[in-house]
Amino acid sequence: MPCWYYEKKELRNTPSIQDGIDYDAECRYRKEGARFIIDTGTKMDLGYNTMATGVVYFHRFYMFHSFRSFPRYVTACCCLLLAGKVEETPKKCKDIIKTARSLLTDQKFATFGDDPKEEVMTLERILLQTIKFDLQVEHPYSYLLKYAKCLKGDKAKLQKMVQMAWTFVNDSLCTTLSLQWEPEVIAVALMYLAGKLSKFEVVDWMGRVGKHLRWWDMFVEDVTMDLLEDICHQVLDLYSQPQVAANAPDSPPLQPSIHSPTSKKERLPRPISPAQQQTLSPLPSAIPVKVTKSEPKSHHTSSNGEGSLDKMEIPVIGKQTDIPLPYQYPSYNHSALPPTYSTPIPTSLYSHQHQYLPHSQYGSSAPRPYYPGST
């Protein structure tokens, strides 16, 4: 099974950056693509799991391809189409395109070419090969509900905390957190953030033992406060970023991609046979380039304590639902109410059914799983 988690330095050396797109612009394209998937899925009454799966496909796809080669809105429709099939909530390609047309400007929809349906269907094959047919994706939602069931305290405050954490999970889709950490770790971090901002302190939980200093130690071990705060700040940074002007330059390309299908009047080439494929030279691999690190604006705690989560005010949620096109961040009409924390958790789609976090590929500094009875 491929590894879909990357170091931060790898996220600053993507094909788009090697193709001349700066890091901030790529982050904006990712956010706009994720928002578009969520808005399209919401308008089509798709579930949050389907939309989240589509967004994860979108982020993974652009770890191998450049935004200059594949227009993000075409890719977004393709990811939503595939996610609907995987999550058993399929929608017809023509219906997704029709919804996309109602959300996009004429200039943006021009990237779909003369035959939008064929453009999306062609890209679906490229998407499947890019993500190596690894279709099953887990999200923090189920872990959030599972962990909340173990916490003790005032039920009303707990429900408020879960609701806030659920909203943070929704908004985290516009970041690259799904490319950095497993859903278990993201769920813990955003519950920690929601607890801080809602003033809900967890003092007791079910299954507590002496060596568990914090409630999440029963699920994952060695999750440091620095790790949690880094995840929290990546989400909080979304709320502090200035909104992009409506006339901001769009992401390239403004014309249909070089992978667009030919016109209906032209005959499409026949598929390449396996024998012919063996004679073709493989695609060139991405060449690593030297990247100069720069610290982005964030809420990180300074040496004098400023910027601490303890002093952060609760972000205003639900007051910016009328943002005009093009898509800008944040918009909260996708923050659907979560099920109550007593709702049974759906069965995992992954082949591994245990509840602990695999860590072997991340080295000794990564969070280690805790197995009952182990020492």
Q: What is the mean pLDDT of the chain?
A: 75
Q: Is the peptide bond before 253 cis (omega within 30 degrees of 0)?
A: yes
Residue 353, pLDDT > 60, answer no
Decide the pairing of beta strands 368-369 and 220-221: antiparallel
Cα distance between residue 173 and residue 81, in whole Å:
18
More confident residue, 65 or 220: 65
How many CB atoms are closer than 10 A to CB 359? 18
Which run of H or of E encompasses 221?
strand 220-221
- Secondary structure in 3-state letters for 297-353: CCCCCCCCCCCCHHHCCCCCCCCCCCCCCCCCCCCCCCCCCCCCCCCCCCCCCCCCC
Q: Which amino acid is at 372?
A: P
For residue 131, the one-letter residue type is I
Question: Under a CB-based contact definition with an 8 Å cutoff, are residues 74 and 122 in contact?
Answer: no
Q: What is the pLDDT at residue 8? A: 93
Decide which of 52 and 324 is more confident. Answer: 52
Any idea what the Cα angle at residue 170 is, between residues 164 and 171, rounded to 5°?
A: 90
Domain ranges of the chain: 8-136+250-262
The predicted model gives 117-142 an average pLDDT of: 96
**For residues 208 and 234, which has the higher predicted lDDT (pLDDT)?**
234
- Residue 151: what pLDDT? 86
Residue 70 sits at φ, ψ, to 5 deg, of -130, 115
Question: Given pLDDT bands bounded at 50, 70 and 90, which one contains residue 92?
Answer: very high
Q: Which of 40-49, 96-105, 341-350 has the lowest mean pLDDT?
A: 341-350
DSSP 87: T
* Residue 319 reports pLDDT greater than 70: no
CB atoms within 10 A of CB 345: 15
**Which of these, 123, 80, 70, lies nearest to 255 by C-alpha position?**
70
CATH number of 8-136+250-262: 1.10.472.10
- C-alpha distances (whole Å) from 38 to each of 29, 53, 55, 249, 287 are 14, 10, 8, 22, 33
Handedness of CA 345, 182, 52, 166 (dihedral sign): positive
| Distance, CA of 34 to CA of 170 (rounded, Å) | 10
pTM of this prediction? 0.70
Burial class (CB in 10 A: 0-12, 13-18, 19+), 279: exposed
More confident residue, 5 or 354: 5
